[in-house]
Every structure is written in C-alpha cells, then in structure tokens.
Structure 1
Amino acid sequence: MDFLVPFDSYLKEYRYKYLALFHALRSAIVAGNIPNGTKLPSSREMSGMYQLSRGSVNQVYDMLLAEGYVTAAVGRGTYVNYEAPDRLEHDIPVTEQIRLSDWGERISCEGAYRTDALLAHEATATSVINLEMGQPVQEGFPVEAWCHAMYQEVRQLEALRQDSEPIHPAGYEPLREAIALHLRRMRGIQARGEQVFIFNGSMQAIALLMQLLVNPGDGVVVESPGYGGIQRAIEAAGGILIANAVDEQGIIVREWTEKLLFVTPSRQFPTGAVLSLERRQQLLAWAARHKAIIIEDDYDSEIRYGGRPIEPLKTLDQEDRVVYIGTFSKTMYNGLRIGYAVLPTSLIKPMERAKQLYEPSPTSVLEQRALAAFIQNGHYERHLRRLRRIYSKKYAYFYRMMQEHVGHLFNIISCDAGMHIYAIWNGDPEAYEAFRLSAAKEGVRWSDGRRFHLLSNAPATACFGFAHLQEEDLLRGVLRMKTAWEKTKYVREPGSIIKDQKLSQISRRESDD
C-alpha cells in the first residue's frame, strides 16, 4: 500500500482522520495510482496502518462505495471500480492543452507580471525592514467611525435582502454622488454622479478602459518611468507602448499621432514630478487636435503635506477628453478595494455595458454603502487631514535621515505628497546592484526603480516607501543601508560614486534615445 503515503499531507487539510483517508484514497484512485480491479486492504489491515478504528475505515469504504469508486462483496473484499483515463501524451497536464485566445496568451506570457521583492531568505538579520512602495500608513485610521458605518449597514441587511431595486452596474448611487461632491469640494472637478463609476480598485478601471479603447496594434503613449500596471493592461489588450520621457516638470509633450495617453500629472509615478500648467495646456490642446483621450491617474496626490494644492488635469478639461481615476485603497486601507473613475459623457454607456458583462451585480455593496455614509458624515475629510499630518512628520524625518546617512549614495528627490521617496543612484549600475544585494543580507529592501523604465539607458533608481513604518524602524532601515554600503568593495574605490546628478539630466538623456 505504498500508494497511500500522501495520507499525511491530507491530515494538514482535513480535521478528521477518516476524511483525510477518504480523500487520499479517492485521489489515488482518480489519478490511476491504484489501478482498476485492485483489492484494497481489509478494514483491520487499514486501521493498523493508519491508526484509525475499524469503524472509521468502514465509514471511508462506505463513502467510496456510495460514490462508485469501489465495489464490495461479503467475504470477497473491497475492489477499485474506477478506470482512470489514459494519460495525455508525455504526461502534459490537461490545462496546458487548452487553446487560449490571443488576449489569454498575452496576459499569460512570461514576464507579463514582474515583482521586485527580494527573497526573504536573502536576509540574515533577525527582521526585515521593508521599504517597498504601496503600503499605506497603519496608524491614525478612524476605526470606531468606520466600524460604526459598517455596523449601521449590517443592521439593514434584512431590508437589503427585501429590496427589489437592483444596484446600477456603475455602483451604489449615493456613493457615486458622494464622490462627485467630494471631488467638486476638494479637487475642483465639476463631476456629476452619473459620470462616476465604481470599480474593484483603480486597476480594474484601467484594464476595462484598455479593452474599450485599445485595438490590437494601437499605440498608447505612456510615461517612462511609469506605472507597470498600465503597461501590462495595454499589452494584454494588444496595444503598443509608446514610451515618453519625463523630467522635473513631468511628461515631455510631443505631437504624438496616437489617440490615447496615460499620465500621472499631479504626482508623476514614480518620480513625484508635478506637471506644469504650460504642459497641462499643451496636453489638452494635443488631445483636441487629434480627438484623443487622456487617462489621468491621481493615485496618491490627496496625501499632500506641503506646497500648494495641485489641481487635477480634469479641472482644465473643457472638451470632455480626460478620464480621471482615483482610489480609496491608499487613503483608507489596502483591503478596501474601491476605486473610481470620472468618465467623459461619451464613455458612460460603453462602460456601463462593460460593467454589466463583468459584474451584472456590483461587488462590495456593503462597503460601498458604508463608505458613502463615511464620506457624507464628514469622516473622510477629517481622516485625510489627520493623514496629512502623520505623513508630513514621517516624510520629514525619513528624508532627513536619508540625507544624513546615505545622501552621498543617492540624489534624493524632495516631494510634497505621496507615500514614497524617489532617489537616483549616484554611481554605476554594478555598484548599485552590489549595494542592493548587500542591503538584502542586512535585512532591508526597497522597490527597484529600474523596473518602471521603458527607454534605454535607464538610470539606477530606487523608490523608498515610508508611510507604514514607525520612526525607529525608518532609522534602522537607513542605518542598515549605510552598513550594507560599507560592506561592498565599491566603498574603497575612489570615484565609484558621482555626486549631485540631476533628474533633468537623466530625463534629457532618455528623451534623446
């Protein structure tokens, strides 16, 4: 009975031994490891092998018999009664034989999704200081107010079940109206509730927009460096990435012939550059001339702790050519997968049809209802004000520690908003890679900025997330970086670090390519 060895692995999944034995036997029969006609051990033998009572073994055999996997005859024993299908040629799994569509092939191709996290076993320190991007602040959240909003909606579940009025595919209408009002008050966007569509995070909005707006072979202008999610969504739709360089004023505007542009004007991802008013006007004029659409991703500019408030590009849009995308995952918590888009009027019906296809009934309705009440009662605006104070303090401390201890390694770009700091390496790529590996062994990691570049000769850059850590952890992380550099061979080589590189110089070199 060697074929029953997997029994131990099933014990981890099932609470009761008899269930573990049943699933181990059934899996082995279906896989053909116990051929058709094989006589199973007696209940006495089986109970001795697996320390089960004979009653439990008989129960397992009865379950297999009821499902037709075995036959039994008094005095003759229990026999397998299942003919496993022939194995496919070369034992290739069935899933690999399924023919995918062109879209399926593109989204499944190797490299469609890249991650930057260094393996945990690289670290030799007792704990890892994770400075990777995308992790919001963990303190200061109004738990009591949010729980109250959720509890109020849970209490109305019975009424919800009896409510025959379906929710619109665009989302819960009071939430759409609340977002429109918030954008008018806080961001200057003259949005109507009917223009606001709710999504399961901003990435779903981006993916659906690509399917609505991009045909295979269409070019889409993107920033370089830029957000990897939009790059993957364009490629999955069959579009062609048209990379365009950025400098300290954001994307460098050209006379593109393409009909779609993706941009992060309020806080360029990942450099943090703010698109100048002159370039905003140039982009809108380009869109008008070419009858193009601009997708504006305002991913974290609401977390502003310095400088003047930046108006979104959408506020200047007089021809209804800008799609404005926002999210609550950065300002609330990552688990709240609620994003939204403000659509031009001509896109409302097409997006409604797309949402009906993917989500005939909107998801996270309870959270949508709670969030609507949370915004309407003023909790969200108060929460944002609290967040800005927390982020401002953390940013000031982290920026100061970085300049003090590793400022000679990076040109650290100052910023007035967001959850990460962008820094340009002051040396050659080989030294940067050695430094990254050394830092991983010291127990600190960050997001490698090189993966956001599409143009050639991309500089070595880093993105340091700071919002989710306390000051003592931020300091430990910086000191570990300092130690990591001192352990590389490059620290002893004169001229290995070139100080005071400028972001504009890097961007001009990229644009020349």
Structure 2
Amino acid sequence: MDITIAYQRAIQKYQHKYVALYHALREGILNGSLASGTRLPSTRDLATMYGLSRGSVSEAYDMLLAEGYIQSAVGKGTFVIEQSLLSNTDNDIPIQADHISNTTAPLPPLSLWGQRIVQIEQEIIETRTYTPDSTYDEHHLVKSLHQQMNSTDAPPDIISFQSGEIILEGSSQISWKSALSAAGKDVQKSALDTNKATVQGDLWLREAICHHVGRTRGITATPEQVVLCSGSMEVIALLCQLLINEQDTVILENPCYSGIRRAITACGGKIEPAPLDQHGIIPEDWHAQLLVVTPGRQFPTGSILPLARRQHILQWARSRGAWIIEDDYDSEFRWSGRPIEPLKALDDTNCVIYVGSFSRSMFSSLRLGYAILPTVLAQALTAAKRIYDPLPPARLEQRALARFMIRGDYVRHLRRMNRLYRSRYDVFQQAIHEYNLDELFHWQQTDCGLHAYATWKHQPAMYNQWMQSAYRHGVVWRDAATYQIVPTVPSACFIFAYLPESHIIEGVRRLRESWDRMQYND
C-alpha cells in the first residue's frame, strides 16, 4: 500500500538513505500521520516507491523495530505499534534545517481583494434575520417552520415563490439526451487534439451563439468575440477584475442583483446607485467609466428600458469613453409584444459587453454563461479565465448544447417553455386579482420573465409582520430588500414559473389567508 512520508526533507539532512528513511518513518509515526496499527508496505514496495534498495529499507525497518516503533509478524506484515506503547520520545528532535528558527512566524494577511470577500460574506451572515428571504436555504425554512408551529397547525408542505429547479422534460429531454450522446463521440474523437480544447470555449457553441443572438437579438458577432464561462456571474466577476481599479466609480441600478454588488466591492470599486422608475434606470451624465445595467428586463423590477433611454445611455458611454456591461439574464422568455433591441445591437462604438446565460433557459445545473465583447477585451477575458480554468469546463455539455442549438432543438424548447410560462403567469395574475392582493401591492406589469415584482402599499412594519404570518401559513417569497443598495419601500419577488398551476393558486390563497388572519388578530 502507498504511504506518504517526509523522505525528501529527511534526505537533505541525513547523508545515508536508510537513516533518512528511518527518520522519515519515525516522524510519521510520532506525528500520527502513520497511525497506530497502520500496515507498512513490504520492503520491495517501499524500495520501489522511493527508489531505494531493499537492503536500505530493511535496515530502516530493523532500526524502528529495535526501538519499538513497529512490530512484525511472519506472514502478516509490518505494523505501526500502538501509541500507548511508545516511550522515551520526549527528547526526540524533529527534522528541520539547522538555520530555521523554532519560533512560529505569523502567516501573511489576505490581499485587499481577499479581505473584502471575507468581510462581505461576514456582513451577509450578520444581516440575516429570521425573516424568510433568498439568503435562506428552503430546507432550513421548512425545518424552522415546523419547529415553530404546533403539529395541528403546521401546513403539510411549504409553497415557495423564492426559487425553483429548472429541468428538461418531454421532447426537450429526449433531444438533449441525443445531443449528449453525439457530443460524447465528438469529445472522444478530439480528446488528443488540444487545439480544440480552447479556454475561450467550444468553437461550435460560440458559432451557434452568434447565429442565435443574430437571429433573435439583432446582435452581429463573430466566434472570436464570444467567451464561455461557468455561468453569467463568473463572466461579470472576471470583467470586474479586468475593468475596475481601486476607488473607481461604478454605476449600478438600485435595486440590482446582489452578486454584482459583491463583485464590484471586492475589486475596490465605489458603487454609485442609480435610481429607477417604472421604465427602468434614469439616465444621467455620470462621472464614471463603467455602467452595469439590465435594460431588456431590469432585475428585479422587470421594467423594460425604452429606446430613447437606451440611446441616451449609449451617447453617455461614447462621450465618456465608458464601458457598459449589459446583463440580458432572461431575455429568452417573452410571451407578447415585440422583442426590444439590446444595447449591444444598437452599439456602434464597441463599448457594450453583452452577457447571457443558459442556466435559466435550459436547466439549473447547466452552468454556462457567455460574453460577447470586442476582440481585444475578449482576449483579456480569456487570459483572466485561464487562471481559473486552464482547460474549458463542461466540454461535453458545451458540445451537446452546440448540437442542440444547431439542430433547432433549442428554439423549439424555448417556444414550449414560453407557452408554459405564459400559462402560469396568467394563472398567477388571475389568482392575484381573485384574492385581491392588489390591496397589498403595486404590481409591475410585464410581458416577459419568470417572476413578478411588486412594491408594498402599507407601512414597512406591517410588511415584516405579514411575512412572518405568511411563513407560518406555509408560503414564502423573495424579499427584494436583499437587492436594494439604498433602502427604499418594501418590495417582493414572486417566482411563479417553476410551480404547477395548482400550487400557484394555493400559494396565493395562503397569502390572502395569512393577511386576513393577521388583521383579525390585531
């Protein structure tokens, strides 16, 4: 059997190989890495492992045996003796270079980036309360809920408007399995061809993305401008590291996705929150060189940025020489109206970086995101990505998705999902009106996306109280306060797309019941 001992360190101090092997084995026994009862390799095997003669190994074993560190049984092997039987080890001198001090020096501190990451994570933990929101794991919510409620009052299950697992079903699943099978053969054929395993991502998939965004989003791009990453958030985090210097001002929508805030702060950027209205971000002459925006469907409010504002933002970027990161996170799901051109399609100065993802449109565990950006910046992003992924991740899935898109299966899948999500949205809207939740919220009207956004009409204290009441009635949603840079009115996100229609109706009914019960108790 294989063992690992500090032989290389010992041979630097001791002239003879058998003495070095003895000390390395002895150190392993004393520090516990070779535990009591461990069977040591045979002299032949240990000699082969460390390039020694069997005679040198036998001499080292004999020395350990004479000093009572090991015991040998004919026909059974050589074993480390029980630690309780070891004695006279107080005067043992550990192996170390003579010029190295025995004192322990403190380890160097984390970098500024590392310190910020730890601080941000600690702040997230400290701000968590009992209030159920997106920072909580759903299983924890269910467990806490049942612990608090009497068994006679506890609901049989919990309906969550917080998140959901996206899976492929029906003909989409069959088509995906076929694509995976074909991709497996492709990857095997190219296993020895390192030129095809580029950090930038599978060439077939990058070509398929260019064709898809050209047809559906009006974006003209070449495969050299596309970089694939493990999800859109990895794209944005790497871009932040490439584009943000210490104390640089970055314009960010308020509210926005909290992961983007963390990435900017960790890079030393100063966030300037940009206010929104019902049409999205309000353009200004910002004193900054970077804007992160979600114009196709603002997250989390769901507002769509009008063409005039898009043009105003592009003009600002031209005059300032600024970058724009356009996060088009769920543009694939639209069930009415004409698709709005993204900033990237209107950009004539190459200042817009377009970021997309397949995690929402395909299935949750497919962590594939991409950026479309100027060639020079694509090269920089590839170089940054190479640090984390020297080889492209998910090669099989990348090639399978390429086949899935090239064969037209992706477009057919999107059509099916749009019909399904539109139906669930209609059910949600009907239930909202039937149970009169318009009394509680101002609802953001939308014709796309996977969640509904609403702002609270009453006092903030009542919102928090109602969240607890709804929690006890077995229904939860995302508290949009987690997305606010500067606190504003209480607001909520209800993710309906992953719930069966019966669960949507029951969830809204529980929301109404919890409000009525709270009002009655008051």
TM range (shorter): 0.7 to 0.9
1:262-307 CA-to-partner distances (Å, cap 9, x unmatched) read 0000100011100011100100000001000000000002110122
Whole-angstrom distance in 2 between the partners of 1:417 and 1:211:
32
Letter in 1 for 2:83: Y
Counterpart CA distance in 1 for 2:171 and 2:107 is 49
Give the 3 Å change call, closer, same or farther, for CA 78–145 of structure 1 in structure 2: same
Distance 1:74 1:198 in 2: 57
Contact 1:65 1:71 in 2 (8 A): no
One-letter amino acid of the counterpart of residue 123, structure 2? G
Supply the AA of the counterpart residue of 2:110.
Answer: L
* 1:246 positional shift: 0.7
| Distance change in 2, residues 1:438/1:30 (3 Å) | farther
- 8 Å CA contact 2:310, 2:343 repeated in 1: yes
User: What's the counterpart of residue 414 of structure 1?
Assistant: 445
Contact 1:106 1:112 in 2 (8 A): no
Distance 2:390 2:309 in 1: 40
* Residue 39 of structure 2 corresponds to residue 63 of structure 1: yes
Among 76, 80, 83, the alignment partner of 1:79 is 83
Q: Provide the C-alpha distance between the structure 2 equivalents of 1:423 and 1:136, rounded to a whole number of angstroms.
A: 23
Give me the whole-angstrom Cα distance separating, in 2, the residues matched to 1:229 and 1:385: 30
For the residue of structure 1 that corresponds to 2:325, the secondary structure is strand
Residue 13 of structure 2: aligned partner: none
- 1:453 is matched with which residue? 484
Counterpart residue identity of residue 114, structure 2: G
1:381 aligns with 2:411: yes
CA distance in 1, matches of 2:421, 2:388: 37
| Alpha-carbon distance, 1:351 to partner | 1.4
The partner residue of 1:285 within 315, 326, 330 is 315
3-state secondary structure, aligned to 1:487? helix
Code of the residue aligned with 2:321 in structure 1: it is: K
Answering whether residue 135 of structure 2 is matched by residue 104 of structure 1, we say no
Distance 1:375 1:166, change over 3 A: closer
Distance 2:360 2:464 in 1: 30
Distance 1:451 1:152 in 2: 43
> 1:240 and 1:164, CA in 2 relative to 1: closer, same or farther beyond 3 A?
closer
Alignment of 1:122 with 2:134, yes or no, is no
| Distance in 2 (alpha carbons) for counterparts of 1:425 and 1:384 | 33
Match of 2:339 among 309, 312, 328: 309
- Give yes or no for the alignment of 1:356 onto 2:386: yes
CA distance change for structure 1 residues 281 and 214 in 2, over 3 Å: closer, same or farther? same
Query: Retained in 2: the 8 A contact 1:134–1:419?
Result: no
- Residue 468 of structure 1: SS of its match in structure 2? coil
**Which of the residues 234, 237, 242 maps onto 1:212?**
242
Match for residue 226 of structure 1? 256
Residue 369 of structure 1 corresponds to 399
Once the two structures are superposed, residues 351-385 of structure 1 have per-residue CA deviations (whole angstroms, 9 ceiling, x without a partner) of 12212222221111111111111110000011111
Identity between Structure 1 and Structure 2 (%): 39
What is the alpha-carbon distance in structure 2 between the residues aligned to residue 380 and residue 155 of structure 1?
20
Structure 2 runs not aligned, ≥5 long: 1-28, 47-63, 74-79, 95-103, 129-133, 146-153
Distance 2:199 2:347 in 1: 26
The answer to whether the 8 Å contact 1:306/1:392 transfers is no
Partner of 1:10: none
Query: Within 5 Å, which residues of 2 pair with 1:90-489?
Result: 99-109=109-119, 110-111=122-123, 115-117=134-136, 119-123=141-145, 124-133=154-163, 135-136=165-166, 139=169, 142-405=172-435, 406-456=437-487, 458-488=488-518
One-letter code aligned to 1:104: G
Could you tell me whether the CA contact under 8 Å between 2:164 and 2:498 is conserved in 1? no
Q: Does the aligned pair in 2 maintain the 1:135–1:465 contact within 8 Å?
A: no
Q: TM-score under structure 1 normalisation?
A: 0.78
Aligned residues of 1:284 and 1:317 also touching (Cα < 8 A): yes
Contact 1:442 1:484 (8 Å CA) reproduced? yes
SS in 2 for 1:464: strand
Give the AA of the match of 1:116.
Answer: T
Cα 1:429–1:369, aligned 2, differ >3 Å: closer, same or farther? Answer: same
User: Does the CA-based 8 Å contact 2:479-2:492 persist in structure 1?
Assistant: yes
Rounded Cα–Cα distance in structure 2 between residues aligned with 1:163 and 1:435: 60
Q: Which amino acid aligns with 2:142?
A: A
Distance 1:256 1:78 in 2: 72
Distance apart, 1:74 and its partner CA: 7.9
**Alpha-carbon shift at residue 166 of structure 1 (Å):** 4.2
Cα distance in 2 between the residues matched to 1:63 and 1:317: 69
Is the Cα–Cα contact under 8 Å of residues 140 and 386 in structure 1 kept in the other structure?
no
- Check the 8 A contact 1:136/1:419 in 2, yes or no: no
Alpha-carbon shift at residue 73 of structure 1 (Å): 4.9
How far did 1:156 drift?
Answer: 3.8
Q: What number of residue pairs does the alignment pair up?
A: 432
State the 1:222 CA deviation. Answer: 0.3
Q: 1:62 to 1:264 in 2, by over 3 A?
A: closer
CA 141–417 in structure 1, closer or farther in 2 if over 3 Å, else same: farther
CA shift, 1:139, in A, is 4.5
Q: Deviations over 1:247-267 (max 9, x none)?
A: 111101111011000000010
Q: 1: CA distance between counterparts of 2:396 and 2:188?
A: 12
Aligned AA (2:479): D
Question: How far did 1:141 drift?
Answer: 6.3
Structure 1 stretch 114-123 or stretch 246-255: which is displaced more? 114-123
Contact kept? 1:103, 1:237, Cα under 8 Å: yes
**Further displaced range: 98-107 or 142-151:** 98-107
Alpha-carbon shift at residue 404 of structure 1 (Å): 1.8
The answer (yes or no) to whether the contact 2:200–2:382 under 8 Å persists in 1 is yes
Q: CA deviation at 1:314?
A: 0.8
Structure 1 unmatched ranges of 5 or more: 1-27, 41-59, 87-93, 494-513
SS at match of 1:463: strand
- Residues 184, 191 of structure 1: 8 Å contact kept: yes
Give the match's secondary structure for 1:407.
helix
The alpha-carbon deviation at position 164 of structure 1 amounts to 4.1
Counterparts in 2 of 1:141 and 1:199: CA distance versus 1, 3 Å: farther
